[in-house]
C-alpha cells in the first residue's frame, strides 16, 4: 500500500500553491518542462485515450502570435511568464487508441458517438495533472480562461497542415516562478458539508 506524501509536499501542491498574476524574471529550462509532461502523462484517462495536447509557448515569436488573443487582464502576465501552455484536446484522439490501449485496439470505437465530450473531459483531467506535476517540480501556475478561443484555434490549429488542425483549445496556463507580491488574498472555499454529500 502506498504511503501518503508528507505535509511539505501537500503544501507545495495544494495548501500554499496559488494562481499566479505575475512572474519573476527567471528562466525555466526546457528539460524541466519535459519532466513536467513526463509526470503528467501518467495520470489516468478513459481507456488511456490521452486526448490532451499541449502547446508550450516560450519564444518571442510564439508569444507574439498568442498575446493578441489574450484578454486585456491576462496579456501582461502571459507576456512575463517564461512558458505559456495552450491546454488543448485532439478531436482525433481515438486514432491513437490502438497504440495506447493495445490489449483492445477496437476500443477506439467506444468513443464514436461522444468524441468531443470524451476529449474535453479527459483533456481537462490531463491539464490538471500537468498543473499538479508543475507544482510538484517547483513551478508556479496561472490557469486562465480569458482568451479568444476561436482566435487561438485559428492561429495555432485550424491553419496547420498536420495533426494540429484537429486540435482545439481548452484553456491556457502560464508556468514559471511566481512573483509573490502580485498574488491576491486567497478566496474562500466551500466546507465539506457545503460541497459534498455522503450517500
Residues of the domain holding 140: 17-175
What pLDDT is stored for residue 197 in this prediction?
Answer: 98
Residue 74, in any domain of the structure: yes
> Mind listing the pLDDT tens digit for each residue in 28-81?
999 999 999 999 999 999 999 999 999 999 999 999 999 999 999 999 999 999
Residue 1: pLDDT over 80: no
Residue 167, in any domain of the structure: yes
Residue 160, in any domain of the structure: yes
What whole-number distance in Å separates Cα of residue 132 and Cα of residue 5? 14
Tell me the CATH number at 57.
3.40.109.10
Strand duo 83-90 + 140-144: pairing: unpaired
Q: How many domains does the chain have?
A: 1
> Mind listing the pLDDT tens digit for each residue in 86-120?
999 999 999 999 999 999 999 999 999 999 999 99
- Mean pLDDT throughout 145-164? 95
pTM over 0.85: yes
What pLDDT is stored for residue 2 in this prediction?
Answer: 82
What whole-number distance in Å separates Cα of residue 50 and Cα of residue 123? 7
Amino acid at each position: 500500500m502506498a504511503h501518503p506524501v508528507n505535509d511539505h509536499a501537500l503544501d507545495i501542491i495544494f495548501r500554499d500553491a496559488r494562481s499566479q498574476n505575475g512572474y519573476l524574471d527567471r528562466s525555466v529550462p526546457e528539460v524541466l518542462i519535459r519532466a513536467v509532461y513526463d509526470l503528467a502523462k501518467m495520470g489516468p484517462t478513459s481507456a488511456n485515450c490521452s486526448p490532451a495536447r499541449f502547446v508550450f509557448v516560450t519564444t518571442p515569436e510564439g508569444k507574439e502570435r498568442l498575446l493578441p488573443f489574450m484578454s486585456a487582464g491576462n496579456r501582461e502576465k502571459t507576456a512575463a511568464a517564461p512558458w505559456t501552455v495552450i491546454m488543448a484536446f485532439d478531436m482525433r484522439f481515438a486514432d491513437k487508441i490502438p497504440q495506447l490501449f493495445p490489449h483492445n485496439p477496437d476500443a477506439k470505437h467506444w468513443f464514436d458517438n461522444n468524441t468531443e465530450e470524451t476529449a474535453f473531459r479527459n483533456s481537462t483531467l490531463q491539464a490538471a495533472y500537468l498543473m499538479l506535476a508543475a507544482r510538484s517540480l517547483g513551478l508556479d501556475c496561472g490557469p486562465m480562461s480569458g482568451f479568444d478561443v476561436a482566435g487561438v484555434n485559428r492561429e495555432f490549429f485550424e491553419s496547420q497542415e498536420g495533426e494540429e488542425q484537429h486540435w482545439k483549445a481548452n484553456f491556457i496556463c502560464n508556468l514559471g516562478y511566481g512573483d509573490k507580491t502580485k498574488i491576491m488574498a486567497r478566496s474562500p472555499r466551500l466546507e465539506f458539508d457545503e460541497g459534498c454529500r455522503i450517500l
